[in-house]
Every structure is written in structure tokens, then in C-alpha cells.
């Protein structure tokens, strides 16, 4: 592969990375189809005609439940930098400019869906863009080579435009990141034509690639992790969809009882179609006089039951629940008619809570903190201490329980009530937390002014005389 404006070794790296994106594209698209509930059941022709399956359009949203159930428990709350209030204000501005809370949430969903996503720190290039950016790239459109010794990327390539649908078409424009070099933007003028460099990023680059992967379930030998939509989850989903299709076909064809006739004269039906015969309110049949036994006889086949289909769907829901670590009730299947206790509710979600906590500490939190630090350095803000990415507790705790736990902690550590952390511990959402902190600051300022006013008033009072001594001197 030759690219005008790039050295041969750089062009070879671009070719290698683009090949990786194309090689993984089918697998990544497959998981996206399962997440979006667009995947048709496999091998349904074993029991049903393929055209009938496509006509019914039966799908299930179970894989999305597995992904969203985790993403909803990994809720990004904000950034903290305790060392410098000026830097904290810069962080707050950066968050607001980049709509960082929904952006990070999208990165978490993409990480669960495809095993990883990328947080890209970059400078604002066009008018109206923030001074520094933090963008999410999914595995459908980006990849990079991981250095296990440095714990970082040696390079990074993202597709910024396709010639058509990214599922089947070729890349049209690329962004190539290298350590210590400006980002190179590449383009193909015609599909399958020659590549050339059209521009590069502004400003001085950092000494490393300012891209950090958010990996779900990384392990040795598989540093880019595994998708939450695993092979077992896809297989169970296919079986469940086929069950739904069979149930739908059964309801469509056999909901009306099937009848049989013997010894009836066909003239009795006249020009009526089968539907008119079935729904007719009055049935009058004449005997066929040509038969030995001319008496017409009418019977009815037993109506099929939907219970076997529902039992199978319930069994598959239990299998899916075990594989995805989510309660069966989240799949719309009721197993126990008795109300669920608070302890049972918490116990049924222990696996998914533990999974989210592991993902946060193994990759997601660190990726956010590193990407934000890079973005702030590109913004011209030096940070010589760690920026802290705050996430809400994956455990859903009631306000009463959170208040009780907070009261016990304050009783052991009274000074905790005077810190900014106290409001965060109570589990309020970011908007309410910010408002509470602002109100507290306002009240503190008012109290300070009152104290100053009281001190000034005391200083202006005349000095009081003391009691006279024995000789009459003061």
C-alpha cells in the first residue's frame, strides 16, 4: 500500500491496521445486529419455510438487556482534581463543552458490545469546536496496536468516512495517530483508488498516542477483551427466537379449531371460500345420496396448546439469565409469582454488580482518567497529580439506606460531614449534587460575611470601664 505524504513504514502500518478493521468487521457487525434486535433466526428452515420466517419478523431484545443491564450500573458522574481549584474549574468547563457524561456512557456501551472502545483525546480543529476534545470510537471503525510493556497503544487508526454502508463498503477517509507526531488525515478520491495525505492536526503532539482503550474483560493473551454478547448468548437468543416463531405460527394456523366432514354433499358449500365456511354462524349440510351411508358427519380436531412453547421459552430464559448474569424477570419471564424480597433482589444481581465493579477497576476508570489528562494537556493545562473519574455505586441503594449508612460513617468520622465527598456519598445525581454544593457554598459565604460584620461591629464599640480600685483609680 502506497500513500502520498507518508513514509513506506507508516503506509505499511496503515495497511495493517485497516486490514484488522476489515477482518473484524463481520464479527463486530454480527454483535451489533444482536444488540439492535435485527438478527434473523438461524436455521429456521428446519421447521418453517424461510419466507414465512422473514414475513413474521420475530426478534428478541435479550442481548441488549445483557449490555444495558451492565451499562446502567456503570454511570459516569464527573471528574475531580483535589490539588488545584483552578484546574478543577478547567475540568468542569471541559466536561460541559464535550457533553462528557453521555459520551463516556456511549463508550461503555460500545465496550460491552464489541469488547472494547477507544477514548480519543484531540485538539479542536474547526470553528465552534471546544479547545480540546474527547471522542469515542467503536471497534467497527477503529483499531490500534497494544504495547504490553508500555501498557499503551503504539499507533491508532480510525475510519472517519465510508464509501457507503460500513458493513459492506470500503473506507474513504482515515485518521492515523502516531506517538510524537501530528495526526495524519488520509483520503481516497475514488473507491479502490490511490490514498494520499490531505492534512494533519494542529499544534504540537504529545510523546504518546492520545488514545486509550476501554476494554471489557481483558485477560492475558487477549488484551482487547471479550464481548458481553458472547457465543452462548447469541446461540440461546437464536433458539428463543425460533421458539417464538413456532409459537406465532401455531397461533396463526391453529387458533381456529380445525374441523372435518364426512358424507357431505359438496353442493352444500356453494361458492363460499374456506374462510366463509369456518366463520359461518349457521352450518347446514345436506347428505350425499350417492354414498352407502348418506348421513353427513361433522367433527373437530383438538385445538393445540401454546404451553409447550411457553415452557421452552421459559427454560431458554433461565439459560440466558445464567449466561448473562441478569435476573430472569429482566427478560419479561416470570418464574415465581411471589413478591421478591429486598434480600432476594440484591442476591439476584450480585454477579452483574461484581462484573461491573471489575470492569470499572480493570479498564474503564483508568482509560477515562488517562484520556482526560491527555485532553487537558492538549488544552495547555498541566496536571501533576491524578484526575479522578467518579462513577456512581453499581449497587442501587435507596435514599433511606444511603442516609443510614452515611449517618453511621459520620458518627465514626465527624469531620466527614464537612467535606465535599459527603454529598456524593448520598447518591444524588450530578445535577442535584452540583446544586447542593452551590447552595452550600452560598450559605458558607453568607456566614462568612455575617462573621466579618459582627467582628467589625464589635470593634467599633467603645471600650468598657473596669471596676474602681480601693484608692479610686481605674
Q: What is the pLDDT of residues 255-295, one digit of tens each?
A: 666 776 666 666 666 666 666 665 554 455 566 566 555 66
The residues, ordered by sequence, that sit 6+ positions from 95 with a Cβ below 8 Å of its Cβ are: 78, 79, 101
Share of the chain above pLDDT 90, in %: 43
pLDDT higher than threshold 70 for residue 244: yes
CA 379 to chain CA centroid, nearest Å = 28
DSSP string, 77-140: EEEE-TT-HHHHHHHHHHHHHTTHHHHHHHHHHHHHHHSEEEEEEEE--STTS-SEEEEEEETT
User: 233 pLDDT exceeds 70?
Assistant: yes
Given CA atoms 428, 433, 436, 441 in this order, what sign does their dihedral have? positive
Residue 474: is its pLDDT beyond 50? no
Domain coordinates in residue numbering, the chain: 3-45+57-230, 256-301
Rounded-to-integer distance, Cα 329 and Cα 185, Å: 48
Which stretch, 184-188, 247-251, 306-310, has highest mean pLDDT? Answer: 184-188
Distance from C-alpha of 66 to C-alpha of 217, rounded to nearest angstrom: 14
Q: Which residue has the cell 462528557?
A: 100
- SS3 call for 399: helix
Amino acid at each position: 500500500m502506497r500513500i502520498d505524504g507518508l513514509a513506506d513504514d507508516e503506509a505499511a502500518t496503515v495497511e495493517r491496521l485497516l486490514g484488522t478493521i476489515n477482518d473484524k468487521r463481520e464479527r463486530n457487525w454480527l454483535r451489533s445486529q444482536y444488540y439492535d434486535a435485527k438478527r434473523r433466526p438461524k436455521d429456521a428452515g428446519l421447521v418453517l419455510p424461510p419466507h414465512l420466517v422473514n414475513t413474521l419478523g420475530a426478534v428478541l431484545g435479550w442481548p441488549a438487556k445483557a449490555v444495558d443491564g451492565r451499562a446502567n450500573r456503570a454511570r459516569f458522574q464527573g471528574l475531580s482534581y483535589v490539588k488545584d481549584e483552578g484546574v478543577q474549574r478547567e475540568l468542569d468547563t471541559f466536561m460541559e463543552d464535550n457533553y462528557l457524561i453521555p459520551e463516556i456512557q456511549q463508550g461503555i456501551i460500545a465496550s460491552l458490545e464489541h469488547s472494547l472502545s477507544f477514548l480519543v483525546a484531540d485538539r479542536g480543529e474547526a470553528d465552534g469546536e471546544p479547545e480540546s476534545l474527547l471522542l469515542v470510537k467503536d471497534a467497527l471503525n477503529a483499531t490500534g496496536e497494544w504495547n504490553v510493556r508500555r501498557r499503551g497503544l503504539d499507533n491508532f487508526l480510525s475510519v472517519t468516512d465510508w464509501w457507503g454502508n460500513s458493513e459492506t463498503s470500503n473506507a474513504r477517509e482515515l485518521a492515523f495517530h502516531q506517538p510524537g507526531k501530528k495526526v495524519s488525515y488520509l483520503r481516497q478520491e475514488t473507491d479502490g483508488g490511490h490514498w494520499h495525505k490531505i492534512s494533519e492536526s494542529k499544534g504540537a503532539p504529545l510523546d504518546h498516542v492520545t488514545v486509550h482503550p476501554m476494554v471489557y474483560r481483558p485477560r492475558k493473551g487477549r488484551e482487547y477483551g471479550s464481548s458481553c454478547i458472547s457465543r452462548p448468548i447469541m446461540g440461546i437468543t437464536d433458539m428463543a427466537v425460533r421458539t417464538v416463531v413456532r409459537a406465532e405460527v401455531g397461533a396463526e394456523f391453529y387458533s381456529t379449531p380445525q374441523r372435518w366432514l364426512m358424507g357431505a354433499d359438496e353442493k352444500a358449500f356453494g361458492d363460499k371460500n374456506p374462510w366463509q365456511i369456518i366463520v359461518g354462524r349457521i352450518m347446514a349440510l345436506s347428505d350425499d345420496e350417492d354414498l352407502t351411508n348418506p348421513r353427513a358427519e361433522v367433527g373437530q380436531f383438538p385445538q393445540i396448546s401454546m404451553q409447550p412453547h411457553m415452557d421452552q421459552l421459559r427454560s431458554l430464559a433461565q439459560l440466558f439469565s445464567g449466561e448473562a448474569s441478569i435476573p430472569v424477570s429482566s427478560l419479561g419471564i416470570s418464574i415465581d409469582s411471589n413478591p421478591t424480597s429486598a434480600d432476594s433482589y440484591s442476591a439476584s444481581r450480585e454477579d452483574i454488580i461484581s462484573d461491573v465493579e471489575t470492569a470499572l477497576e480493570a479498564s474503564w476508570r483508568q482509560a477515562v482518567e488517562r484520556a482526560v489528562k491527555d485532553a487537558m494537556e492538549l488544552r495547555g493545562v498541566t496536571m501533576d497529580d491524578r484526575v479522578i473519574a467518579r462513577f456512581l455505586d453499581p449497587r442501587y441503594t435507596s435514599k433511606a439506606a444511603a442516609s443510614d449508612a452515611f449517618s453511621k460513617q459520620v458518627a465514626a468520622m465527624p469531620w466527614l460531614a464537612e467535606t465535599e465527598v459527603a454529598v456524593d456519598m448520598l447518591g444524588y445525581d450530578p445535577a442535584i449534587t452540583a446544586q447542593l454544593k452551590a447552595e452550600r457554598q452560598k450559605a458558607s459565604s453568607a456566614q462568612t460575611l455575617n462573621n466579618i460584620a459582627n467582628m467589625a461591629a464589635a470593634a467599633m464599640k467603645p471600650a468598657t470601664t473596669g471596676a474602681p480600685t480601693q484608692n479610686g483609680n481605674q
